[in-house]
Structure 1
Amino acid sequence: MADRKPCKVCNFTRQKSYGLVVPSLDELKQKGCEFLGYKPSDTVTLVLENDGTIVEDESYFLCLPTNTKFMLLQEKETWSPARTFEGGTVWMARDSMMLEADAVDASSAPFWYLAQQLKQDLASIILMSEADLQSLVDAPCPELASALGFPEKKAADLQETLQSVLDRREEERQSRELLQLYIQAVEKEDRQQEALNQSTQGGAVDVDMLDGLEVDSASGFMRRTLMVLKGKTSPETRLSTEDLQVVVTKGAEAMQRVLGWDKARTTVLVQACKAELETRLQKIQAVQSIRSSSQPDSSQPPSEESKEEGVEVPAHASD
């Protein structure tokens, strides 16, 4: 009988490893299944841990050096290389890997399979649903660290990153919804303006009766204008000059009734609208002043330089 050979055996995740002394390949498989908790009826494949070479020949087994490390693979499990990551060892399994039933209870740890996806490829975060991301964020940090093979600090940092991904997706969703509401409001206003123009061509029209959903008969403002006025940030900058004039003309007391605000808040809004209106009017006046100064004054007689250059002088200018 051949001499007994010292060797090592591990499961496909490399999280369980045992030292054995066996005389043959068959006994290695038998004892390996026993130590790793496999059933005697399970079909297993023996491979070299370092490169995945399948070991089936008894002579080849006996030629291997002592303390060779083997891996026992169950059905549907495949060998994958071990990779190092930031000083720690992270065992990367393939898509087809199946977790051991005695190592993981999927009903009690639903995040475990998601953690295995991240363990294989961190970029899979972008393909996960929000429910999956939330499951990883809510997972106990020590258990998540164990599933990933990370230190707890790194697992906590990962959970913060996942929460940031969730927050960003929520912000993007809200932005899309706001943009859609804005587009709908603009389209309604355009339709209302088009109907107003068509009605105006046929004769006078009562604007308040044009579209009761768009014009507030009590305040005289468009519904969209009221929405802008009640906005959170600088509504005066988003109003037309005509709307600003209406707000300033109505005054704080009337706008207080329109908006349903307190006096102080309404006064601040009216003052902001007044300042914005004055700024716009000053810009208009400045543009008009520039235009007028750039045009020549025909009332002034031609200069001496013009005469010397041969510019024709009207006959009545010499009288």
Structure 2
Amino acid sequence: MADYKKQCLVSVRGSKEWHGLAAASLQELLEKACKFMNLDFQKERVTLVLAEDGTIVEDEDYFMCLPPKTKFMVLTGNKKWSAPTAVDGGTAWMARESVDLQDVMELDGLETPKWKALAAQLKENLSNIIIMSEAELQTLIEVPVEDLSREVSESHDKVRVLQDTLQRVLDRREEERQSKQLLQLYLQAITRDEGSGMSSIAAVNTDEVDAGQQSRTPLLAVSIIKTLKEKKLPHLSLSNSELEAVTNEDSNTLAVALNWKTQKAVELQNSCLQELQNRSQQAQCLNSLATLSKKTKYQP
């Protein structure tokens, strides 16, 4: 099997542009970055650091432990890393900028099926299950056991357990969707019983989008808009990058794109933000358990 190549994003200090590169090792990433940026690491000092906190990356084992799409900053000579203007609490890898993994591969001249890219994410960090969309989870479930086993370097039995886990995640999201739908119906019934007073107040708070906003163009992808329109609880169906795109969209523009009232669009954005926070907490718990498990395993 061909060596696994990690998808990375690199930039030089002071630049706002990020370039997608894939490398099987830290040395290969350094060489590709220098070639792409016309740098000669044999004639001048070139250092790779994490763009997030400035950590110098010079160990191959550490490089392999980093998740896909990690951002690296290239420093030349005696240049130093400078802190970003915003702090993300250490969870930036959970909500990367909307750079599609397939796009990163195409930038580096690779042609890889999407399921292989998803498998690579799981191989790097199993907690990436949490940030995947329902469509991505379903894609991995449908991959033949033999193929997925070869891609993640695990036995067939372990891969079957993995796919069962993916199915349970899908089932959990569906159960959560149904539970919330029942709760919404219950609240609607209570509202009707209390009379028209609350309904009139709600109508005041959910005025139609101002006609002046009609000319604004939504920035969301067509696939996201379709999911938001068709799903009862769409925030459970979206990936982290898609959730982030929805929360970052202007509320009025989102309302126009969906043909909703502004208040309903705001409520959707709040649900997406809450789902992002929930997944971040779940991932942190899984990572903590994995770290604890490794420490226990290697204790004398």
Instruction: Tell me which interval the TM-score lies in, with the shorter structure as reference length.
Output: 0.3 to 0.5
Larger CA Rg, structure 1 vs 2:
1
TM-score, scaled to structure 2: 0.33
Higher-helix-fraction structure: 2
Q: Which has the higher contact order (CA 8 A, sep 6+)?
A: 2
